[in-house]
Structure 1
Amino acid sequence: MTEVDDGPSGPQETPPFLLRLPGASEVDPARGVLLDEVGTNGSRKFRILAGSPARENEMPSFSKHFTATARERETLKKTGVLRPSARWPGWLELAQDVDCGSPSFAAGVLVGAPRNGWVEWRTEAGAPLSDFMEGIWTGPARAWLVRGSNVSGTDLVHCLWLPEERVSLAAPRLRQGIGQGVSKERLRTVVEEDWGPTATYNQKLELVEELHAFLSRMKPGDTVCTLSGGRFYVGEITGPVEQTVSDDGRSNLRRPVEWQSTGHAYDTLPEELQQRLSAQHDVVDLTTAQPHIKGLGRSDEELADEAEAIERDPSGTIPAIAARRELELPEPEQSLAAELLVHDVSWLRELRDLLWEERQLVLYGPPGTGKTYMALKFAEYLGGGPEQVKLVQFHPSYAYEDFFEGFRPREDPRSGEVAFRLTAGPLRELADLASREGNRHIPHFLIIDEINRANLAKVFGELYFLLEYRNKSVRLTYSGEDFALPPNLFVIGTMNTADRSIALVDAAMRRRFAFVELSPRYEPTSGLLRRWLDREELDSRPADLLDALNSRIDDRDFHIGPSYLMKKGAHRAGGLERTWRTKILPLLEEHHYGESLDIEKRYGLDALARSIEDGEPNGPSS
């Protein structure tokens, strides 16, 4: 047994720990013990016991990203300490005890691949090693970003963290004796007293969150990341926090870390990870992006091989591989073109390509051109069903609080009292749904009907920025959280060009959306009614009348779309005349309001029918 002094409770005995190697059902598990001795970087050492098995092969990229562990394996082989096993053909075996800098380093030596030793070294009863580390916050492994490239003008990443295998946090005014496991409530009092008037209220709030994360939430086995010189570095926390003295207090809180040997270019990182990295805090929880981090620099085969040692549901997926699953928008097929009565499936494919490239587009055109119907059906096809599609309609009084989030009166289900509570709007709800684990490869669509009828700058607020910079995040107005639009969230707006509020659409809006016109002058709208009449086996006369009508309307933004006449009621006895009188002519009366124009004489059914019979589709000019 090895005693571990790991907190105020004094020494604690720990049992031997076992490590089951991947693909080793016929091989005994490796055995090891946790040591009292602490390495140069503050990590507690771990001893692998003689007779422990090891894999002969190692992960192909192991020597590149985990140079120190790979070098130790090679040294042990050359010296005969790690040699072919007589008991287990095809495996290696330790000839003597080997001391390693941390449990994870020890596991990596045996497996030839990265391993979280705090989780995978277990007792006979299955308890992980981390359960025996008193004073250290327990729970599943998390991932963290700690910024160190500009701490009081110094790049600590290259001058301290990487060479000395540490990560640190500047807390120059923090009193001595504030150690591992301190509560957030205690930190609030300490920060208020120790920083006093030297920090603003918001700065103190931020300090409490960062200190609590570094002191109490981080634990051995967690992933830690940082950025420096355009590169992203990944490591593993290997021990408890240490409070020390440093020049100018730039690094007086420290944790030991085993850093991977190479960094990753920032521009090559997955978009979801870049979004989290753009949060403007010194300590950021990256756990939601953990599968992306784990997969950096490793092939699917390496990740699958690494996962073999973890007890898991065999029917499940490996998170790091699942995170790589490409988001796709299916290619429109002829069946969709037939359903939407589009003249050519290539038009739908171009629409799909625009949406893929821009993430946001607007279908615009005169009334009745089927913009909303097209948007809904197209989104349902691309998303795989209506569950991934949400529709909202803008109007002049629509606001940010309606669209994204704001305080709304809500009744407390327990007390029955009504109070203002932060309530999510349709965009926030859909974004939360799209970003759930397991949903990130599924396209989700927000349809904004009549997008030009609201004050767009007021409705979108800071979200305007995210429409253009999808790999960034912003601090939200009400909740104060960091928010980014999920990569699998697409926005389709519809815009009625006959609505004078189109003037509210400014250059910023036009820059963030691709615009696609649906006009009676062009396909797929120009021949839509004829195709529908043909499919329904109805007379083509209404299509002739609509063409004649639009030829008399000078302003193309007020042309009449075919959807008014694509209803069964318009083709029953008296239906055409009723639709013309109650739906179409009122639109044209509004268009010519204040003009001395006889609407019936110019646009009435009788006038249009006579012009068609006379072979003069343009008819009289007044």
Structure 2
Amino acid sequence: MAEQGNEVSGTLKVSCMQWMAPVLQALKELGGSAKFQQVHDQIVHDFNLSQETLTAVGGKNKVNRFDNDLRSARNHLVQGGYIDNSVRGVWTITESGKTVDMNDAFASELIRANRKATAARRKKTDANNVLGDSDVAQTRYWAYRPGAGASKWQECQQDSVMMIGWGRIGSVDQFQSQNDIQQALQQKYELVSPAKNRAHALWQFANDMNTGDVIVAVNGFRSVLGIGTVQSDYEYQPGDGEEFDHLRQVVWTVTFDDGDAPEIGQQFANKTLTEITSDEAIQQINALFDDDELDDDDDAVSTAEQTPLESYSRADFLNEVYMDGDSYDRLVAMLDKKKNIILEGAPGVGKTFAAKRLAYSIMGEKDPSRVQMVQFHQSYSYEDFIMGFRPYKDGFELRHGVFYNFCKTAEADEGHSYFFIIDEINRGNLSKIFGELFMLIESDKRNLKLRLLYSDEQFSIPANVFIIGMMNTADRSLAMMDYALRRRFAFIDLLPGFDTDGFKAYQHSLHSAKFDRLIDTVRQLNQTIAKDESLGRGFMIGHSYFSNLTAQQAGDDQTLSGIVEYELIPLLGEYWFDDPKKVEDEAAELRNAIQ
């Protein structure tokens, strides 16, 4: 830092790393705490910075580089524990910040550590994590409007917060439901119409959002003002009368001036807070994370610490999925050989649950970043799956599909296995969806390159990509799968797991005589279904209808009756739609079991 003054005065492109020590020094000179503008002015004074340096802009969006670098430096220091920002709008140097020797080498290491934390957080992001993985961390993306016309955006940046209005109602923590919030809004603001959207936004802001979630500050329908990471739980801090009193601390990783904000192809809802669930929108937002034009150090900040992935073994799979060991071993061997399998069976045998657990067990750890799930339907197309032209601004733009992006990710990480899961695979037109790549999914055609339909590009499916499809054998509306599909996939029947060691242990742990009688009745019913010439084993009732119950629920009349009346009996009505007497007799057996 000895040559800092000369270097900054003559250079327009200055890294935030060079401002980390000056920020700490300025805070010391200002008594330990200060606001952004005070720190800004103190550094300008200490280094006698030229107007050229203060007005220099950088990056394709022409942001003020000095202001951007100061905020980035401060964010790294917060992440490192050298600045505390628990008080809104105030930067306070910590004891560690007072004593640290923040030289260039140390600052560089701190930035590198924060970049790794960001990469770890983003790697774990799984927009399709809808398979019941409550034990796997999931990052959510939120579009946030910082006041009408982005009027609060500068304050959000300077104070490292996001804030929502309607402060008259007090802390959201006092309300038990969204309806309670809605009533408070109507009362405090004398509203005539219901305030459902406002109540929903406040409820999500306080209860659904989590530390580590990604916040996308937006203006208009497509403009991105900034991207940040949630750093704190919900806070209520009465402010200066403008009623933006609902807060969360946010590290703004990427920021743009309103006039230079980039746009993405996906349109944002005209609401204060909206969860972003579109894969395409998330990919475009992540691309802005990767824009390194604003900082030579590829500046990235995250509040998330890099934590080791939870291990997941063959034994864990057998304990959760209720499959016997020999069946599991054959399943893994077939997937390794064919690279493509289809799990088929009746609803309730746990196909969806088993698919992702199978991937985890082969990985040896729970890494959702290496698992992607989609669901096929009659309208699903090549353009959704591989690539195609989509409306953008006044024309069209070529965009990559989910499978294309997944293969590119796997290709860059060939040392690890990647698993692409397709639910309802037999509902889509596979020839239409895969197009010219249908041949390449074969195990002996991996890494073979073909030219893509919409681009002048040679593309291949990596050998480390495994495809797991799922289909319901009880779906009468679907035609038989064609030979081309059957030749490329191995078909695995998943049967009810009532007789597996895992389910028996689970059943024993519930200590419920009623539950035991119901399971015995279902076993007998399955024998009847298997012997029926119009049905067969693929229509047997699965164990998932009875999984994940507590001991209290397993002995509760309403819980068991709900399973029988609203899940099992309607299913029997579909099976024997032409034999009402048969349905009535089997329904009576189920009802008697839980009396």
What TM-score do you get using the length of structure 1 for normalisation? 0.41
**Structure with the largest fraction of helix:** 2
Identify the structure with bigger relative contact order (alpha carbons < 8 Å, sequence gap 6+): 2
